[in-house]
Amino acid sequence: MSDYVTRKQDGYYQLELIVQGAHCGGCRSRIERGIGELVGVSQVRMNLSTLRLVTTWTGEVLTAGDITTKLSQLGFGSAPYQVLTAQTQSEAELKTLLRAMAVAGFAAMNVMLLSIAVWSGGSEMSASTHSLLHWVSALIALPTVAYSGRTFFSSAWQALKNRQTNMDVPISLALILACALSLYETIQSNPETYFDAAVMLLFLLLIGRFLDAKLRLRTGDAARRLAALQITSATRILKNGSIETVPASSIHPDDTLLIPAGQRIPVDGIIIKGVSDVDVQIVTGETSPKSFGVGGRLYSGTTNLTAPLTLKAVAASSDSFLSEITMLVEAGEQSKSKFVRIADRAARAYVPVVHTIALATFIGWLWAGGDLRVAALNAIAVLIITCPCALGLAVPAVQIVAAGKLFKHGVLIKSGNALERLAKTKSVIFDKTGTLTTGQFTLLNFDEIQPQAIKTAAALAHHSNHPLARALHGYKSDLILTDVEEKPGLGLSGFLKDKPVLFGSADFTTATYVDGAASTAWLKIADDDPILFTFADQLREDAQQAVEDLIALSLRLEMLSGDRNEVVKQAASDLGISQWRGEVTPRQKMNLIHQRWAENYYPLMVGDGINDAPALAAANASASLTGASDISRSASDIILQGDRLSGLPIAINIARQAQSRVIENLTLAVLYNLLAIPLAVFGFVNPLIAALAMSGSSLLVTLNALRISRS
């Protein structure tokens, strides 16, 4: 197992396992809590949709064997995580549940028919016929419960064997007691049995378990498809020039890779040889390929299309872009929000509380009437009707559906509590350059400049990666300049046939400063008058619509930028954002975030640069584009794929819907238990009615959660 441990760049160790036997939020909480108690563990994350457990730790004291042993003690099996294995295991679980559900459904139908015959027969049915029908019911029900109930029995046994409890313990106890009491009643030839209740309870529980597994499998498809893109080998070039084929997982930073045309890029890297078109849709959302040459950075998951490339790896597979995106998708289903913590605590308290109530009910009825049979029936009804399936599903069902819908709209959410924080948002604060704008400048006054001047400026600009210089990279020039030098903060200088040439700021070229919203640069050739070049940063195509949609959601919008006031004012005016500030520092951005907090605006910060990271971290919620800096993406709660701002209002709207559904589900679960428990304790429901009521509550919260996907 130690072969599957990955050494991270920051000195941490990481192990990815597929967990066997986990099926609910209580299982996940117990696993995360148990593994988190091991010495050195810094982070543990369990994903129910993909059954993937990722454990990160420091130091060499903890081993992979310690983690798998702890899982075994908690009652769960494990194996090294592989996408195909996880897919197969999830599908096998679904098929097992489907078979068990089919058997239970068929048996429930037949036992109910026999029960109806007994109920309708009344005094006209002889005692021997009555007893025979009960025995036939037993012959159908007992094997059915033994076969179809294995999911619950094995889970409960694993928990009890390791001195643990879970929600399957009282379920199993209720099924066993109901069958045992009914068999006793049949042997004693008593008039009432509850085989129908046991089989119906099992059938309805399996429906809920099957729907939950189906929902998790469907939601996990996105993460599995992304992870499957990482299943690739790579051709590594050794120092002696020979090549070898290795799994992508064994690639290390600084390795040299040969990427033939048609192959997917296995890890993040920089091109050191070759020029080729690359399909970058997974990163930017653009359907058209982009051309990359020496120095270009490629991300894992993109595909080399036209020519061989030699790549220098800059990250291991587990630290590359595609792995990060996969983790974000999985993390979107995880949750430690206020509502999840409430549900987790309630689920942990459930077993002792319910067992205590059931025992008290049994003793109370014995004390009140002394009838062992009635006391047992009411205690069993308490165990059945208080099954916490509705409470356990109340929050996770909503978050799974919401995360899946957000992914379809190109929004990756990094944590469950981000939904809760997004729903509280009252103001959105935008960075300008690279967020509302593309960060790519275009020349505005092309028609006012002589062609020779354009060629001269372009020849100089080709020697620089400054944003204004890049705006001229598309202009061809056959001029040859010598002694070209870039002076940071000023511009470029060189010689054209012994004539000095300058291109840059007004101070650098001795030009007169021009005030205005456009960005400017000047070209000066020898002693000629400086020539003005004006540039503009283009707004993103969907920025206007995104702003309008956010305003429609009654949100206060602001724009903050380190750019000049005139430029920021013009961009804000074009977009219809009334609140704006230019020439602000990163600290000033963060201070304004704190001010909005104090005003109870629960600010959402949207940025892309390293300078935005403090504000992103300080905000109530934060968002970055896919193309943002690594630091900004790490500080953000949601990632907008394809650099599309249109996902932002969608995310807030879905978060608000999810918040409403969570509150409704928790309210329904609490009201159900407040009503159901007294009815069971005081003998107003039998085990059959209890089974129907319990399953109805679970179905209700699941259907309520699914309303998000249909809205």
Same domain, 111 and 174: yes
- Nearest CA among 607, 630, 627, 629 for reference residue 560: 607
Closest-CA residue to 335 (of 52, 48, 620): 48
In this structure, are 515 and 547 located in the same domain?
no
Q: What is the CATH number of the domain that holds 258?
A: 2.70.150.10
pLDDT the model gives residue 700 = 81
Which comes out higher in pLDDT, residue 507 or 655? 655
Confidence of residue 609 (pLDDT cuts 50, 70, 90): low
Cβ-count burial 510-538 (b if 16+ within 10 Å, e if not): ebeeeeebbbbbbbbbeeeebbbbbbbbe
Is the model's pLDDT at 103 over the cut of 90?
Answer: yes
Return the top range by mean pLDDT from 30-44, 448-462, 580-594: 448-462
User: Same structural domain for residues 206 and 128?
Assistant: yes
pLDDT in tens, 411-437: 888 765 788 888 889 999 998 877 888
Give the residue carrying structure tokens 């520092």. 585
Do the beta carbons of residue 305 and residue 274 sit within 8 Å? Answer: no
pLDDT above 80: residue 344:
no
Whole-angstrom Cα distance, residue 410 to residue 413?
A: 10
**CB contact at 8 A, 276 and 291:** yes
Q: Please give the average per-residue pLDDT across 497-515, as a whole number.
A: 83
Identify the residue with better confidence: 689 or 484. 484
Q: Please say if the pLDDT value at position 373 is more than 60.
A: yes
Indicate if 95 and 179 belong to the same structural domain.
yes
Same domain, 422 and 447: no
Q: Which residue has the higher pLDDT, 650 or 47?
A: 650
CATH number at residue 616: 3.40.50.1000
Provide the CATH number for the domain around residue 502: 3.40.1110.10
How far apart (Å, rounded) are the C-alpha atoms in residues 698 and 387?
9
* Domains identified in the chain, total number: 5
DSSP states of 494-557: EEETTEEEEEE-HHHHTPPP--SSSEEEEEEETTSPPEEEEEEEEEPTTHHHHHHHHHHTT-EE
Q: pLDDT tens digits for 19-73?
A: 877 766 667 777 888 888 888 888 888 876 677 888 888 877 788 888 888 888 8
Of the listed ranges 28-42, 74-88, 589-603, 648-662, the one predicted with least confidence: 74-88
Cβ(244)–Cβ(276) under 8 Å?
no
pLDDT score for 332: 42
Same domain, 646 and 669: no
Which of these, 221, 217, 621, lies nearest to 415 by C-alpha position? 621
The whole-number pLDDT of residue 287 equals: 44
Say what the pLDDT of residue 102 is: 93
Residues 420, 373, single domain; the answer is no
pLDDT of residue 584: 80
Clarify whether residues 458 and 414 are in a common domain.
Answer: no
The domain of 76 spans 2-81
Q: How many helices (H) and strands (E) does the chain have?
A: 24, 27
Domain-ending residue, one of 322, 347, 381: 322
**Does 559 share its domain with 653?**
yes
* Least confident window among 191-200, 346-355, 658-667: 346-355
Q: How confident is the model at residue 688 (pLDDT cuts 50, 70, 90)?
A: low
Range 349-358 average pLDDT: 74
Structure tokens at 353: 């509380």
Closest CA to 170 of 22, 31, 347, 373: 347
Sign of the dihedral through C-alpha 637, 639, 645, 647: negative
Contact yes or no for 250/230 (Cβ under 8 A) = no
The residue that leads in pLDDT, 110 or 706, is: 110
Q: What is the mean pLDDT of the chain?
A: 80
pLDDT at 466 over 90: no
420 and 552 co-located in one domain? yes
- How far apart (Å, rounded) are the C-alpha atoms in residues 140 and 138? 5
Provide the pLDDT for residue 516. Answer: 65
Q: Is the pLDDT of residue 634 over 70?
A: no
Higher pLDDT, 293 or 247: 293
Same domain membership, residue 193 and residue 100: yes
Whether 496 and 534 share a structural domain: yes
Between 395 and 455, where is the model more confident?
Answer: 455
pLDDT at position 83 over 70 = no
Q: What is the pLDDT of residues 258-312, one digit of tens each?
A: 988 878 888 889 999 888 878 775 665 444 567 788 888 888 878 888 788 899 9
pLDDT band at 481 (very low <50, low <70, confident <90, very high): confident
Which of 299, 322, 345 finishes a domain?
Answer: 322
Task: Give pLDDT, residue 690.
Answer: 74
| Last residue in a domain, options 269, 298, 322 | 322
- SS3 (DSSP) at 472: coil
Could you tell me if 178 and 687 are in contact, meaning their C-beta atoms sit under 8 angstroms apart?
yes
Active site residues: 431
Task: Report, as an integer, the average pLDDT of 427-453.
Answer: 86
pLDDT at residue number 502: 92
What pLDDT does 333 receive? 41
pLDDT at 693: 77
